[in-house]
Amino acid sequence: MTELQSMGARALSASKILATASEHTKNAALQAISQALLDNMEDILSANKQDVDAARAGGMNPSMLDRLTLTGQRVESIAKAVLKVAALPDPVGETLSETTLPNGLSVQKIRVPMGVIGIIYEARPNVTVDSAVLCLKAGSSAFLRGGKETINSNMALESIMRRAVASVGLPEDCIQLLHDTSRATAQEMMRLRGYIDVLIPRGGAGLIASVVENASVPVIETGTGVCHVYVDADADIEKAVNIIYNAKTQRTSVCNAAETLLVHKDIAADFLPLAQSRLQEKNVELRCDKKAMKILTNVTAAEPSDFGREFLDYILAVKVVDSTDEAIEHILRHNTKHSDCIVTENKQTAARFCAAVDSAVVYVNASTRFTDGEEMGFGAEIGISTQKLHARGPMGLREICSYKYIVRGDGQVR
Amino acid sequence: MTELQSMGARALSASKILATASEHTKNAALQAISQALLDNMEDILSANKQDVDAARAGGMNPSMLDRLTLTGQRVESIAKAVLKVAALPDPVGETLSETTLPNGLSVQKIRVPMGVIGIIYEARPNVTVDSAVLCLKAGSSAFLRGGKETINSNMALESIMRRAVASVGLPEDCIQLLHDTSRATAQEMMRLRGYIDVLIPRGGAGLIASVVENASVPVIETGTGVCHVYVDADADIEKAVNIIYNAKTQRTSVCNAAETLLVHKDIAADFLPLAQSRLQEKNVELRCDKKAMKILTNVTAAEPSDFGREFLDYILAVKVVDSTDEAIEHILRHNTKHSDCIVTENKQTAARFCAAVDSAVVYVNASTRFTDGEEMGFGAEIGISTQKLHARGPMGLREICSYKYIVRGDGQVR
């Protein structure tokens, strides 16, 4: 048995106990974790300082450095988020359906924990706590692999959380972190069949591609978002300006931010100058196709590769289309099945768009920024799925569970 | 673009049309397929004869040869099964939930087609029709790869189905079969990301392992079943004898047949001789642990590897356990998360078993042979999932669909 297999075996054993733990016990564990984070603040910050110092010496860029850095306030808000998860309803054990077959067999479908959930992520120590507590509440063991830049912070957090879990009588092995952050170990983790029931990568496109390419355990692909806002001929222009401004600029580094604006030709001359002037408040660079260039000044000509590109920055690709069908075709060709929006007052056009656009979340007259577990009422999320298997869009507690059937009879045979 | 990518692109285009096709049109396509199978019986049988002759010349074993062989009657029953799928309710478009958020956004979750479903299978030509029509009814394109032994039969069936689909105005590319049955092409199919939304292997353990190992598209693992029947101290002995007899012998070659019998020590001396005498009607070989050997005569001593083995034959591993906990532990260690059964009149013991045994279907007092889409009321199935992601147990039309959210607003922004 390799070291990883034995970690996996411990995670599996722990998951069997956790699977039948009461909601009360799981919540007690989360409360203990939250309190322990506050009580051990100094240890956490000093471990984090080691990571930050090393990263700064290694020349990490400021935005990554910021994600890596913990402060007293940030730890407090992590601890508060744990309590929010404790307050969410327990997803485990809910009866999803119940039927009686003609032969008298009763078939009950109930939600059960996934078992062992693997999470591979990058330089954000808050993900360590966040992932572990969501898994715990959903009755599954968390098998975590963070980036090497954040290993000291993560080890401190792991140790604090494990002690807290043990303090309420649950197995500490329901939270385990890979201490070896080598690439080889990550690869082995991706192939730990029989121990890991699902692997969720949380991070940039490169990480996700590597997991999808190498994993033999089932994966839920998350993340990349090339979101479109299509302003239809029948759009309310004021709504459209507000929506594209919000979807592009409220936070640019996230997967549910808009990256491409499509505009119907009949409304382009009225709408585009107003949108441009609003977007200029945040100095958004517009990369325009030829038709949009004819309407706007002080813009950049778009390269073909700007369409379908996830800028994650104050940059927006802009294209004028001849019809809703052209907009739909463009979206189907260039999106990442994440979130796409139509702005229109025409219900039939909206219905056609909703039926044809194959994204996790399709919007009519609202910002794509709402694709988020908290915003959509799930309470929390472990990521946003961009695949069609298992879960789509924000994944909350229910989405990281599985189900099983219980069939009760009185001696029935075939 | 490789040939496979261009097949994938055609499947994808067809899936977009199919996704919004009406139930009426999809059913018309299925009826046309059913009729075309009957109308083209001679072509089908003569193509199949080529396959059967080649297989026989190549020394294929009789049971595989039987699976490969089509007869007039078999084609008729395939055609009839297509009509049964047409009669099932359309899974697409159903509203799964609907909520209004505090900010006024309406969030609707609806069932949508998966898109393109890949199926890799072995020498059973009926799977070609069966898979294609289930996918079509569920609004998805079928991208099929059958075994090389059955290529002539499959090509005949593909061509007949494609013409039938086109005859009702749907794109024929929603059904495509790989004509090149080389291993390399199968491997390329397993990695056809961007074109195949899910890949379902249907066949033996070797095929499934190869798909899981090599695929980079999402996979639903199916099939292998090491099913257990546990006869508790509080079992009704007559029910227990009937259940193990049925679960072991009604059909031995299937994944929901029982492979291991566990018996509580307090009932073993009463139960085992009765079970043995009933199982002798079908000459079932019992491979017994030491404790069972002390009770029974004319049995074989079990090797350790007999526990957890999928015999798919008239062979049953038998073990006497000291407690329900020992039975549960044994099952958790040796099962394949398929179907496991407890026979008991004690409701508390049953509840404990159901909570602890992590299988797709857990039975109380009924044969494991009921793990089947038709038996469980799904109408039909494309396979039985043994993984915990996406779907568990029998997969009917709903289980090969995905969902999406439609969010309607009035200009909401964050």
Burial bucket for residue B73 (CB in 10 Å: 0-12, 13-18, 19+): exposed
Closest-CA residue of chain B to A96? B96
> How many beta carbons lie within 10 A of that of residue B239, not counting itself?
20
Assigned domain for B360 exists: yes
pLDDT of residue A233: 98
Inter-chain touch B366–A392, beta carbons under 8 Å: no
Confidence of residue B71 (pLDDT cuts 50, 70, 90): very high
Inter-chain touch A365–B411, beta carbons under 8 Å: yes
The rounded distance, in Å, linking the Cα atoms of A29 and A376 is 26
Residue-averaged pLDDT of chain B:
96
Separation in Å, CA of A358 to nearest CA in chain B: 8
Closest-CA residue of chain A to B336? A194
Assigned domain for A48 exists: yes
Pair (B53, B199) in one structural domain: yes
Inter-chain touch A411–B243, beta carbons under 8 Å: yes
Pair (A69, A217) in one structural domain: yes
Within 8 A of A359 by CB-CB distance, chain B residues are 404
Closest-CA residue of chain A to B389? A390
- Residues 150-209, chain B: which have Cβ within 8 Å of A? 193, 197-198
Angle subtended at Cα B54 by Cα B52 and Cα B57, rounded to the nearest 5 degrees: 105
Confidence of residue B205 (pLDDT cuts 50, 70, 90): confident
DSSP track, A60-94: --HHHHHHH---HHHHHHHHHHHHHHHHSPP-TT-
The rounded distance, in Å, linking the Cα atoms of A177 and A336 is 31
Pair (A89, A204) in one structural domain: yes
Pair (B42, B149) in one structural domain: yes
Pair (A231, A205) in one structural domain: no
Separation in Å, CA of A322 to nearest CA in chain B: 21
What are phi and psi for residue B90, nearest 5 degrees?
-70, 120
Inter-chain touch A413–B243, beta carbons under 8 Å: yes
Residues of chain A with pLDDT under 50: none
Closest-CA residue of chain A to B116? A388
Closest-CA residue of chain B to A257? B414
Pair (A199, A287) in one structural domain: no
pLDDT of residue B206: 87
Inter-chain touch B370–A198, beta carbons under 8 Å: no
For chain B, how many structural domains are there in total? 2
Inter-chain touch A243–B101, beta carbons under 8 Å: no
Say which of A350, A355, A406 has its CB closest to residue B362: A406
Confidence of residue B142 (pLDDT cuts 50, 70, 90): very high
Assigned domain for A382 exists: no
The rounded distance, in Å, linking the Cα atoms of A46 and A70 is 10
| A159, β-bridge pairs | none
Q: Is A169 helix (H, G, I), strand (E, B) or coil?
A: coil
Inter-chain touch A216–B220, beta carbons under 8 Å: no
pLDDT of residue B238: 98
Average pLDDT over residues B381-409: 96
B175: tokens are: 């059904």
Inter-chain touch B238–A411, beta carbons under 8 Å: yes
Q: Which residues contact A255 (CB under 8 A, 6 or more apart)?
A: A223, A224, A225, A227, A310, A338, A371, A384
Local structure of residue B309 (DSSP, 8 states): -
Confidence of residue B380 (pLDDT cuts 50, 70, 90): confident
The candidate with the shortest Cα–Cα distance to A393, out of B257, B108, B23, is: B108
| Mutate: best of A334, A359, A389, partner B, most B CBs <10 A | A389
Assigned domain for B380 exists: no
Residue B162 CA: distances (Å) to CA of A180, B147, B202, B315: 53, 20, 22, 43
Within 8 A of A196 by CB-CB distance, chain B residues are none
Q: Is the pLDDT of residue B76 over 90?
A: yes
Say which of B238, B362, B369 has its CB closest to residue A404: B362
The rounded distance, in Å, linking the Cα atoms of A127 and A115 is 19
CATH number at residue A240: 3.40.309.10
Q: Using a CB–CB cutoff of 8 Å, tell me whether B42 touches chain A.
A: no
pLDDT of residue A249: 97
Within 8 A of A361 by CB-CB distance, chain B residues are 404-407
Average pLDDT over residues B25-44: 98
pLDDT of residue A404: 98
Q: Is the pLDDT of residue B315 over 80?
A: yes
Q: Using a CB–CB cutoff of 8 Å, tell me whether B377 touches chain A.
A: yes
Pair (B153, B264) in one structural domain: no
In the block, tokens 């062979």 appear at: B315
B247: tokens are: 């679960």
Q: How many CB pairs under 8 A join A and B?
A: 207
- Kindly report, residue by residue over B341-361, the tens digit of the pLDDT: 999 999 999 999 999 999 999
Say which of A105, A362, A390 has its CB closest to residue B370: A105
Pair (B66, B191) in one structural domain: yes
pTM: 0.94
Pair (B401, B281) in one structural domain: no
| A315, β-bridge pairs | A285
Average pLDDT over residues B257-286: 98
Pair (B239, B321) in one structural domain: yes
pLDDT of residue A204: 82
Say which of B193, B238, B355 has its CB closest to residue A20: B355
Within 8 A of A198 by CB-CB distance, chain B residues are 388-389
Closest-CA residue of chain B to A341? B407
- Kindly report, residue by residue over A45-88, the tens digit of the pLDDT: 999 999 999 999 999 999 889 989 999 999 999 999 999 999 99
Inter-chain touch A236–B411, beta carbons under 8 Å: yes
ipTM score for this prediction: 0.94
What are phi and psi for residue A258, nearest 5 degrees?
-75, 140
Say which of A370, A408, A414 has its CB closest to residue B105: A370
The rounded distance, in Å, linking the Cα atoms of B86 and B91 is 12
- Residues 83-102, chain A: which have Cβ within 8 Å of B? 99, 101
Q: Using a CB–CB cutoff of 8 Å, tell me whether A17 touches chain B.
A: no
Confidence of residue B224 (pLDDT cuts 50, 70, 90): confident
Q: How far apart are the first and last CA of chain A?
A: 42
Assigned domain for B47 exists: yes
- Residues 348-367, chain B: which have Cβ within 8 Å of A? 350, 354-356, 358-367
Q: Using a CB–CB cutoff of 8 Å, tell me whether A313 touches chain B.
A: no
Burial bucket for residue A44 (CB in 10 Å: 0-12, 13-18, 19+): buried
Pair (B235, B137) in one structural domain: no
E strands, A149-196, are: 175-177
CATH number at residue A165: 3.40.605.10
Separation in Å, CA of A32 to nearest CA in chain B: 26
Within 8 A of A99 by CB-CB distance, chain B residues are 377
Within 8 A of B360 by CB-CB distance, chain A residues are 404-405
Query: Which residues span the domain enclosing A136?
Result: 3-221+390-408
Closest-CA residue of chain A to B394? A405
Q: Is B388 helix (H, G, I), strand (E, B) or coil?
A: coil
Assigned domain for A384 exists: no
Pair (B81, B212) in one structural domain: yes
pLDDT of residue B336: 93
Assigned domain for A153 exists: yes
Inter-chain touch B107–A197, beta carbons under 8 Å: no
Inter-chain touch A392–B410, beta carbons under 8 Å: no
- What's the maximum distance between 2 C-alpha atoms anywhere in chain B? 79
pLDDT of residue B223: 77
Assigned domain for B383 exists: no
pLDDT of residue B283: 97
Within 8 A of B92 by CB-CB distance, chain A residues are none
